[in-house]
Amino acid sequence: MLVAVDLVVLTVRNDRLLILTIDRGVDPFRGQAALPGGFVRPDEDLLDAAERELSEETGLSELRVHLEQLATYGHPDRDPRRVISIAHLALVPDAADPTAGGDAAAARWTAVGDLLDDPGRLAFDHHRILSDGVERARAKLEYSPLATAFCSEAFTIGELRQVYEAVWDTEIDPRNFHRKVSKTPGFVVETGATTTRQGGRPAKLYRRGPAELLHPPMLRP
Amino acid sequence: MLVAVDLVVLTVRNDRLLILTIDRGVDPFRGQAALPGGFVRPDEDLLDAAERELSEETGLSELRVHLEQLATYGHPDRDPRRVISIAHLALVPDAADPTAGGDAAAARWTAVGDLLDDPGRLAFDHHRILSDGVERARAKLEYSPLATAFCSEAFTIGELRQVYEAVWDTEIDPRNFHRKVSKTPGFVVETGATTTRQGGRPAKLYRRGPAELLHPPMLRP
DNA sequence: CCAATAGTGTCTTTCAGACACTATATA
DNA sequence: TATATAGTGTCTGAAAGACACTATTGG
């Protein structure tokens, strides 16, 4: 049985949640959009394989990438070659555009909303994997500080709020959000600097704090 | 590469969380305790393979078993034969004792607390899989009605509380618990019957309700 | 000046936890 | 009777959501 890893790579750009898709350069599904991925090597750990494929097929530098296992898909009919795939979820800051490589003929960012609405656009069972990945990301933003993985090293609380709004596809009251984030221990720490890059009154800049879990959590509306 | 499924099968008996372990009847690790599991057949879906192994190796009837995928373990050194394993989590009501079969020389219930304290008791990386499975079960009891999977068809709120106490290894105030469960929409529905099997005043019997998610959740202390 | 964003304070509602109190069974 | 469990009510504190208000920039 063949064993592969696939990747749901998400970023937030211009207040929209985007996913990295490739155009397949080989059969099956040659020419169709798909998630990046590839076969696991015999002496390789699963997470290492996912990191390698991310680098090979998309050219994304692996710095500041959050990567975790998502789920495994193994229905006998999901791939004519009988491949089981361990899907992974990657969250990256708004980055330079990806460059295709490996078995990928092209690599680009695609709006998640458009793909969710069109189950036939992606090859294999990748629409299902995408749905599961997006739901995982949405859930993790509630109880973990992972939203910071979408931000640059130093960010304002307004920028962090825009990440939540893009991933959850909701509007959030800026004043309550500010109070919650700054009162949740270890979520963010001040850098001491400020910025006016969002316009208006200068905003304090923050880095991700030491907390792994948010107490209390940030709940979706 | 070989592909297997392993099972973390949990139940609650006498206020303790128990896990189903087998004694391996074949190499490697012949004679040592391990989680039940086995190889996936070429034409088989992963969840089907997990169900089949549960039935073959432990003889547990599959009725009223909650089964879900847990995570996939694929480190190159985890098994000398280079096996990746898709672990599954099963929650079953306090059931008859299991009967060994397949590659299992014996099958029994073991206290989870004892196994967690002794990382060397289980073969392969099964201690790690057990830890992940127990943590998943503990987390799911917070926001899903899955605690009912440990109860018989009709149960009292006191029995449901004992499930939470056993899985979380904590004490819960019976009065606050009662109020929370009965006010969470769709968690449980009255059967109309009562029982005195717990002693004291007769308690109403409930069945699991239609809710898939608990609003508000039952939070751990 | 105005418009925009940042940040604080206040009010109301909801819910968790502590615990007094009542209800109904068995010994 | 005592004792056990079931179930309700009440209080307090934490936190969420709505939103008034002030602060500080750029145009």
* Residues counted in chain A: 221
List CB contacts (< 8 A) between B69 and chain A.
71-72
- From the list B2, B46, B75, the residue facing A74 with the nearest CB is B46
Sign of the torsion formed by the C-alpha atoms of B86, B101, B121 and B13: positive
pLDDT per residue as tens digits for the range B150-169: 999 999 999 999 999 999 99
Q: Which residue has the closest alpha carbon to D19 C1'?
A: A175
> Taking a C-beta distance cutoff of 8 angstroms, is the pair B153, B207 a contact?
yes
pTM: 0.96
The answer to which of A18-27, A79-88, A91-100, A198-207 has the lowest mean pLDDT is A91-100
Contact A44 B76 (CB under 8 A): yes
Query: Cis omega (within 30 of 0) on the bond before A28?
Result: yes
Verify whether the Cβ–Cβ distance A76 to B1 is below 8 Å.
no
B161: nearest Cα among B188, B134, B194, B123: B188
> Which pLDDT band, with edges at 50, 70 and 90, does A60 fall under?
confident
- Residue A158 near residue A197, CB atoms below 8 Å: no
How many helices (H) and strands (E) chain B has is answered by 5, 9
Q: Quote the CA–CA distance of A133 and A154 in Å, as a whole number.
A: 26
> What residues pair up with A89 in beta bridges, in sequence order?
A8, A68
Sketch out chain B's domains with CATH numbers. Answer: 2-127 (3.90.79.10), 142-208 (1.10.10.10)
Tell me the CA end-to-end span of chain A in Å, nearest whole number: 43
DSSP string, A104-140: EEEEEEEEHHHHHT-TTSBSTTHHHHHHHHHHHHHHH
Beta strands A66-73 and A37-39, pairing class: unpaired
pLDDT digits (tens, 9 = 90+) for B107-144: 999 999 999 999 999 999 999 999 999 999 999 999 99
Distance B16 CA to D10 C1' (A): 34
Q: Å from A176 (CA) to C12 (C1')?
A: 15
Q: What is the pLDDT of residue B96?
A: 80
